Structure 1
């Protein structure tokens, strides 16, 4: 029998030999034991329970399966979400998009709890749920073209008790005829060429329709920019996450669609990269 310390040491070494991050071993062992990092440190000399189960998870990750898909969960904005191969795993940088929307909504709207909000391409529902709960808003609609993704998002909303409305359809199409105060989206923005060179952990296990935004990566931004003037209220708020080096082009798309009626801002993430575009419709 192995101790927790021995199991962790083996797992870290095994993952490194297979070209994976050794830190994933700690992530998986904490999940296996249902402990925090502090609790893990206190249990290092305990016997490792169900070592075979832990070993199987390590081998799965070494073979190329993301740890989030192995444990079927990820943390986002202080909450735990269920994820699987039907949805994009929520990224930490997307939390900055949520923060940007929250701060601007509180400045722009007298009562952001009543603002009508739409999250386009919701995936796991992380953005929509975060906005609904943080703003205590019951007017949030989440849209996705994938029924499998919507099933996961609905499950997350139930678990987190978020009052979200869900619509199945392509981008803005299900919202035709509505007026929205806030539209937020983290759409697919990888080009077909970039997709071929992605890390296999992403390319082989996350849905292609949640990653690739057409031949050049801009297809969905073009369609959103063209359709938003019919839907967005005045004042209104738009927020996009974008890929590296895409921000200025996406900002120009919004300016072309709205003309003088929009004030567009390109915002850098915590790493200093231009990863967000916000537009305030006057």
Structure 2
């Protein structure tokens, strides 16, 4: 069968099941190493037996409920492809907005920013992305999951960055070492158990619950983390945290309590939902 014929059949099934119509293209271009434009120029190409068998296997797994990122073991983030497995969350576009905010802040303070920490780093997408942009910065990622850190280290090697990854329960390791950071980022578990009923089965059945859910309406990790952040910030600091859309004011109050002299603002994402809280003792 040609690529066009395979795509036609796949899209018919995706349409009936009301699933993402781009999945077949994503599978083929990833497995064959094609860009989207190269794929369109190759529609008349015959798929050989092994290519068709691989596609059928991948497509069946997707239809069966597996996220395509885990099937292909790759997910795009901020212009780079990251290795992902079910040990880590699939990168979300919303997290790119947190990285963008940090990137703009560092650009405005290029000589002062030296030490950056990403807490709950998962696959390492945040620190690796920022290290690629700002190679002179000393950047660290930490996580409580050893399995996630193994994935992060693989991404570190694949993307040729030299981020330091540390196994730590939030900031415990850094409290012990006495390290201080200019910039701290965090995308902790923040989904409340009550939101489980609203979530996609693709997420619930495949992504790690440790990285998704938190007690106390999703605020428990923020409470522990923010209480201890004053121990590890430098004299001048900028903190950026991703949040759930209903958590802006609660997280803002936690930061204001720990940093009464700082400026704290809630920022919305591209969809107009509260998505991050920024705390700094400089102008924001």
State if a TM-score over 0.5 links the two structures: yes
Equivalences for residues 99-118 of structure 1 within 5 A: 99-108=100-109, 110-112=111-113, 115-118=114-117
Equivalent residue, structure 1, for 2:209: 208
Gaps of 5+ in 1: none
Moved over 6 A (4+): none
| TM-score normalized with structure 2 length | 0.94
1:116 shift after superposition? 0.8
Larger CA deviation: 43-52 vs 122-131? 43-52
What's the counterpart of residue 42 of structure 1? 41
Name the residue aligned to 2:263: 263
Q: Which runs of 5+ in 2 are unaligned?
A: none
Would the aligned equivalents of 1:150 and 1:166 in 2 still touch at CA under 8 Å? yes
Mapping for residues 134-145 of structure 1, pairs under 5 Å: 134-145=133-144
CA offset at residue 109 of structure 1?
5.5
Question: CA RMSD, aligned part only?
Answer: 1.4
Q: Secondary structure at the match of 1:265?
A: strand
Residue correspondence of structure 1 range 130-279 to structure 2 within 5 A: 130-176=129-175, 177-259=178-260, 261-279=261-279
Contact 1:108 1:235 in 2 (8 A): no
Give the length in aligned residue pairs.
Answer: 278
SS at match of 1:190: coil
> Counterparts in 2 of 1:1-16, with a 5 A limit?
2-16=1-15
Post-superposition offset of 1:105? 2.4
| TM-score of the aligned structures, taking structure 1 as reference length | 0.95
Moved more, 246-255 or 117-126: 246-255
Contact 1:247 1:274 in 2 (8 A): yes
What is the DSSP-based 3-state SS (H/G/I as helix, E as strand, rest coil) of the residue aligned with 1:227? Answer: helix
**Equivalent-residue separation in structure 1 for 2:4 and 2:62 (angstroms):** 19
Equivalent position of 1:96 in the other structure: 97
Q: Which moved more, 1:25-34 or 1:69-78?
A: 25-34
CA displacement 1:257-282 (0-9 Å, x = unmatched): 111x2101211111221101111125
- How far apart in 2 are the matches of 1:252 and 1:215? 15
2:67 match = 66
